[in-house]
A and B are shown apart, each in its own frame.
Chain A
Amino acid sequence: MTREFWKGNDAFAEAAVRAGLQAYFGYPITPQTEALEYMSHRMPELGRPFLQAESELGAINMVYGAACTGARVMTSTSSPGTSLMMEGLSYIAGTEVPMVLVDVVRGGPGLGNIAPSQQDYNQMVHGGGHGDYHPIVLAPASVQETVDIVYNMFDIAEKYLTIGVVMIDGSIGQMMEPAEMPPMLEVRKEIPDWAVRGGKGKDRRVLTSIYLAPEDMEKTNLRMMKRWQQIEKNEIRYKEYFMDGAEIAVIGYGSAGRVALSAVRAARGRGVPVGLVRPISLSPFPKQLVREVAEQVDSILVVEMNSGMMLEDVLSSVQGRTHVEFYGRMGGIIPFPNEILKEIERISEGTQKDAGHPRDLWLERMDSIVQ
């Protein structure tokens, strides 16, 4: 295969098509809309259902219905749309049917803006919908990585009968990069055993998220948690850069992680022993890795495009083993490499304040950055 220039949103749509996607339901919202537009011609030309829903509520419930038939199905949206989909996601989780969602995150809260952000971390990773459930959330950092992850996400979601979320920020959705498309898979013909198909008597299947007896609900909750344990064991993904001999570790995902890599390279060029850990699976979170990194380094710098949502997961993994700092940009602003470089140098010079929560200290420093 050859490498071609692909816009992120078009690229993940094509990757899903090649993964044997059987139906797409969506609603226009910037910065994700190109995916919907791409699907509007690509799916029908292959004879597969595409439907622009009346709202994100409609879209996620169409996905829910299609998922109950065992079809490979997905939707894509951006942050305010994701908020609307939370109801459906909770029901889908409770019904234990697989689906894939691509969330192209923008600035918030509220209408916010259409610029790249990572402010959906909490609502995706820590579950914005009601009830005890954990979607798998993977966060790629380039168009190619998004293609590869979306292509594989269907298999992962189906393996665990769970929701697979691919969370990218608006910049990955909007930018063009060279990417190689994976081969076209055949659309699956067989129907999974659990799926509804039109059966009666002994073959009758009912898919629901209601368990009126608390004992039955608890059994379901426990079954889902056991499955989540398996996911935590099997589905941790991350990349490490320059971690050999590193005394400072930067931890960042998606675009923040990618920008941080430039800063880490520059710092290494200046002789600062710094490395980068880029979690790809945010849920399950690579706790063990962060714990080990905490044993190795003197300081950790968490970089995000939010107010430190992953920071809390890092802190709970580090458990005081090492010094943790935070640097974030908000509101749809991507940090420049030199901002992160400055933070790395400040930490390596040991001029950080000791006391306080990393977020509080960052907020203090932000006073001089944001006038």
Chain B
Amino acid sequence: MATLDIKNMKVVYEHPKALINMNSHYCPGCTHGTAHRLVAEVIDEMGLSDTTIGVASVGCSVFTYNYFDFDFVEAPHGRAPAMATGVKRVRPDRIVFTYQGDGDMISIGTGEIIAAAGRGENITVIFINNANYGMTGGQMAPTSLPGMITTSSPHGRDVEKMGYPIRASELLATLDGASYIVRRSLHNAKNIRMAKKAIRMAFESQVRGLGFSMVELLSTCPTNWHLSPIDASNWLEEKMVPYYPIGNYKVHPVLNEIKI
């Protein structure tokens, strides 16, 4: 009978060091966990966990600082880019990133995010777009799709009355201060790998002082979408990706030279 030669085995996959090994408060099937893991893996790979200060926002990810093993501050709803600006301006030697949902970033925090991107603030934004307000129970967000049923658009989002969704990546990519603006998705393995590469690129942008970087991550919210995790991933692919195309909206030429 063959025995496992544990001594000579090579670790090929492990819990990221920058992610604390604990249960999270996120719902089963929610892609916040995936996004957290990707950020933590990138922080580990780049060796940034003792130089990083995270900025948490308000929404489901309000407790994100419980899961990352490095310094964090917690911003008021929507103000994370301004708070991150304050941290970065006095500590330009630190890596500063915000982790924000769609209600936080592109509804209540629209002013702060556009201003930070316009200034070319040398921070990174991880933007979770799950097309609704998750923490408060699934209300309509600026990102909710036309016709989408939410607890505050019970008959579906009527664009004549409630307006159209905002495509944040396309919007921010128009600003000269932005160095790296891309949209990725977390609905399957291939896209998750692409998302990780993008997160890496965003942090590389900050390390190089190239200015504002943001990775938009299309994410699932099985609980509020009233779908199983698998159905939620399929819904994301079928409904969200066509409205929010995956792609690179702005890439600083210097970043094209980086091979990961």
Residues of A within 8 A of B70 (CB): 198-200, 204
- Stretch from A46-54, A168-176, A332-340 that touches the partner: A46-54
Residues of B within 8 A of A71 (CB): 90
- Stretch from B80-88, B205-213, B214-222, B243-251 that touches the partner: B80-88
Distance between B74 CB and nearest chain A CB, rounded to angstroms? 4
Residues B52 and A198 in contact, CB atoms below 8 Å apart:
yes
Residue A127 at the chain B interface, CB threshold 8 Å: no
Residues of A within 8 A of B84 (CB): 65
Residues A200 and B87 in contact, CB atoms below 8 Å apart:
no
Partner of A58, one of B53, B71, B111: B111
Residue B37 at the chain A interface, CB threshold 8 Å: no
Distance between B120 CB and nearest chain A CB, rounded to angstroms? 12
Residue B144 at the chain A interface, CB threshold 8 Å: no
- Stretch from A207-215, A286-294, A350-358 that touches the partner: A207-215
Distance between A20 CB and nearest chain B CB, rounded to angstroms? 13
Partner of B73, one of A53, A54, A196: A196
Residues of A within 8 A of B89 (CB): 23, 25, 49, 51, 62, 66
Considering only CB atoms, which chain A residue lies closest to B80 in the complex?
A61
Residue B176 at the chain A interface, CB threshold 8 Å: no
Task: Kindly state the separation between the CA atoms of A23 and B132 in the bound complex, as whole angstroms.
Answer: 37
Residues of A within 8 A of B225 (CB): none
Main secondary structure of the interface of A (DSSP, over half): mixed
Residue A369 at the chain B interface, CB threshold 8 Å: no
Distance between A105 CB and nearest chain B CB, rounded to angstroms? 24
Residue A157 at the chain B interface, CB threshold 8 Å: no
Residues B111 and A57 in contact, CB atoms below 8 Å apart:
yes
| A194-205 interface code vs B (CB 8 A; 1 in, 0 out) | 001111110111
Considering only CB atoms, which chain B residue lies closest to A97 in the complex?
B73
Residues of B within 8 A of A66 (CB): 86-87, 89-90
Residues A88 and B86 in contact, CB atoms below 8 Å apart:
no
Residues A88 and B76 in contact, CB atoms below 8 Å apart:
yes
What is the number of residues of chain B that contact chain A, defined by CB distance less than 8 Å? 36
Task: Kindly state the separation between the CA atoms of A210 and B75 in the bound complex, as whole angstroms.
Answer: 10
Residue A69 at the chain B interface, CB threshold 8 Å: yes
Residues A64 and B86 in contact, CB atoms below 8 Å apart:
yes
Q: Which of A162-199 contact B (CB under 8 A)?
A: 196-199
Residue B36 at the chain A interface, CB threshold 8 Å: no
Residues B112 and A57 in contact, CB atoms below 8 Å apart:
yes
Residue B151 at the chain A interface, CB threshold 8 Å: no
Considering only CB atoms, which chain B residue lies closest to A50 in the complex?
B89
Task: Kindly state the separation between the CA atoms of A209 and B84 in the bound complex, as whole angstroms.
Answer: 16
Residues of B within 8 A of A62 (CB): 82-83, 85-86, 89
| A23-52 interface code vs B (CB 8 A; 1 in, 0 out) | 101000000000000000000000001010
Residues B62 and A210 in contact, CB atoms below 8 Å apart:
yes
Residue A261 at the chain B interface, CB threshold 8 Å: no
Residue A314 at the chain B interface, CB threshold 8 Å: no
Distance between B61 CB and nearest chain A CB, rounded to angstroms? 12
Residue A206 at the chain B interface, CB threshold 8 Å: yes
Residues A61 and B76 in contact, CB atoms below 8 Å apart:
yes
Residue B236 at the chain A interface, CB threshold 8 Å: no
Partner of A199, one of B50, B83, B112, B114: B50
Residues of A within 8 A of B170 (CB): none
Residue A73 at the chain B interface, CB threshold 8 Å: yes
Distance between B193 CB and nearest chain A CB, rounded to angstroms? 26
Residues A206 and B85 in contact, CB atoms below 8 Å apart:
no
| A49-83 interface code vs B (CB 8 A; 1 in, 0 out) | 10101110111011111111101010000000000
- With contacts A69-B91, A198-B51, A208-B74 taken as known, whether A51 is within 8 angstroms of B85 at the C-beta atoms is yes
Residue B49 at the chain A interface, CB threshold 8 Å: yes
| A10-30 interface code vs B (CB 8 A; 1 in, 0 out) | 000000000000110100000
Residues A57 and B74 in contact, CB atoms below 8 Å apart:
no
- With contacts A53-B82, A65-B84, A73-B86 taken as known, whether A208 is within 8 angstroms of B76 at the C-beta atoms is no
Task: Kindly state the separation between the CA atoms of A197 and B50 in the bound complex, as whole angstroms.
Answer: 9
Residue B157 at the chain A interface, CB threshold 8 Å: no
Residue A87 at the chain B interface, CB threshold 8 Å: yes
Residue A91 at the chain B interface, CB threshold 8 Å: yes
Residues A61 and B82 in contact, CB atoms below 8 Å apart:
yes
Distance between A343 CB and nearest chain B CB, rounded to angstroms? 44
Residues of A within 8 A of B79 (CB): 57-58, 61, 64, 87-88
Residue B69 at the chain A interface, CB threshold 8 Å: yes
- With contacts A62-B89, A66-B87 taken as known, whether A207 is within 8 angstroms of B73 at the C-beta atoms is yes
Residue B56 at the chain A interface, CB threshold 8 Å: yes
Distance between B134 CB and nearest chain A CB, rounded to angstroms? 16
Task: Kindly state the separation between the CA atoms of A366 and B166 in the bound complex, as whole angstroms.
Answer: 54
Residues of A within 8 A of B86 (CB): 23, 25, 61-69, 73
| B83-107 interface code vs A (CB 8 A; 1 in, 0 out) | 1111111110011000000000000
- With contacts A61-B75, A205-B71 taken as known, whether A196 is within 8 angstroms of B53 at the C-beta atoms is yes
- With contacts A65-B55, A210-B62 taken as known, whether A199 is within 8 angstroms of B71 at the C-beta atoms is yes
Residue B241 at the chain A interface, CB threshold 8 Å: no
**10 A–B contacts from the bound complex (CB under 8 Å):** A23-B86, A69-B87, A88-B76, A95-B73, A197-B91, A200-B18, A200-B49, A206-B72, A206-B73, A208-B65
Q: A58-B85, A198-B70, A208-B72 are in contact. List 10 more A-B contacts (CB 8 A).
A: A54-B111, A54-B115, A62-B86, A64-B86, A65-B82, A69-B91, A95-B73, A197-B91, A207-B74, A208-B74
**B residues bordering A, Cβ < 8 Å?**
18, 49-53, 55-56, 62-63, 65, 69-76, 79, 82-91, 94-95, 111-112, 114-115
The 9 A-B pairs at the shortest CB distance, nearest first, are namely: A65-B86, A54-B115, A208-B74, A61-B82, A62-B86, A65-B83, A66-B86, A61-B79, A196-B71
